[in-house]
Structure 1
Amino acid sequence: MRFSVCFVCTGNICRSPMAESVFRARVEDAGLDGAVAVHSAGTGGWHEGDGADPRAVTVLRENGYPSGHTARRFQPSWFARLDLVIALDQGHLRELRRVAPTAADAAKVRLLRSYDPAAGDDLDVPDPYYGGADGFEECLDMVEAASGGLLAAVRDAVEEKAA
């Protein structure tokens, strides 16, 4: 069974689809795509069925990432099949832990920027939705900076699971 990671933001049209796309590329580059499944969702269902925000799509494409995406809402029942749930900010972290069916499920929730040693104390990825293209570029920079540390943690978990 594949190790499963789900990135979660508010509406699943900006931050989490960007993180999903970047991390999926990192997983493929590492040759782990057969061992790791990558998903994303939102804490709310406002955008269910929509594509990613066009500004997110533009930034991803300009940086060589695929951008096909359909927004969906995170369901607490998914915890049973997920190994790691990556929140994009503190609000998402609190909400995901609140809806987790068990303490073990709540323990699966982590902040993305906690995997970036240079992040310091500010572990939130700001929501770029209400701003311009520069916010989406900043989001991508933060996602990329954390992806290496997350990949190392996932690789360790995959190896441990296989042992």
Structure 2
Amino acid sequence: MAASNGKAVLFVCLGNICRSPIAEAVFRKLATDNSVVDHWVIDSGAVSDWNVGCSPDARALACLRNHGIETDHRARQVTKDDFATFDHILCMDESNLRDLKKKASQVKNCKAKIELLGIYDPQKQLIIQDPYYGNEEDFETVYEQCVRCCKAFLENYS
């Protein structure tokens, strides 16, 4: 699964319909704009299986479209193989982090570095809050956080 130079990132949230598909789409756009997209495997997933096969939330899609970004992502659950194939697994909150570390402990050949995406935020907003029960402004906040974090992550690993 890894790209030719071994860079692979998986963005993770609870259901893979709001935060992580936004982060995936934002990172893909930044990598494309910086002419490095071919150096990366980029995906997103969920710790739960609630939304497997579903498109992102309509508000997430509208937010991305407002910024000129399209995605055809379908929600999927994180698998044991992901821990062995991705270099970085970046999640949105402490609950995601706990769930991922628990799953990783059951994988013998785990190579993924599991972190909060927010550790890359220059504004030091560590947690990317779930906007699902919020409004369009909450999705915009998630988008802005993802842009800041993904830019910093890409600069750090390119």
TM-score (norm 2): 0.91
Conservation of the 8 A alpha-carbon contact between 1:113 and 1:146:
yes
Residue 40 of structure 1 is matched in structure 2 by 44
Q: Could you say what secondary structure the match of 1:34 adopts?
A: helix
Which residue number corresponds to residue 108 of structure 1? 113
Alignment map for 1:69-148 (pairs within 5 Å): 69-100=73-104, 101=106, 105=110, 108-119=113-124, 122-148=125-151
Q: Please give the alpha-carbon distance, in whole angstroms, between the structure 2 residues aligned to 1:66 and 1:17.
A: 11
Amino acid across the alignment from 1:41 = G
* Residue identity in the other structure for 1:138: T
Deviations 1:33-70 (A, max 9, x none): 11111100000010001000000000000011112110
Q: Report the TM-score when normalising by structure 1.
A: 0.88
Task: Find the aligned partners of 2:48 and 2:25 in 1 and give their Cα distance.
Answer: 20
**8 Å CA contact retained: 1:113, 1:123:** yes
* SS of residue matched to 1:41: strand
Mapping of residues 43-54 of structure 1, within 5 Å: 43-54=47-58
User: Is this contact kept in 1: 2:9–2:89, CA < 8 A?
Assistant: yes
Percent of aligned pairs with the same residue?
A: 35
Q: How many residues align?
A: 153
Change (3 A) 1:29 1:109: same
1:78 is paired with a residue whose SS is helix
Moved over 3 A (4+): 101-107
Which of these residues, 24, 28, 39, is aligned with residue 28 of structure 2?
A: 24
CA deviation map 1:80-108 (0-9, x unaligned)? 11100001111111111111045883761
Gapped regions of structure 2 (runs ≥ 5): none
The amino acid across from 2:132 in the alignment is Y
- Paired AA for residue 121 in structure 2: D
Query: Runs of 5+ in structure 1 lacking a partner?
Result: 156-163
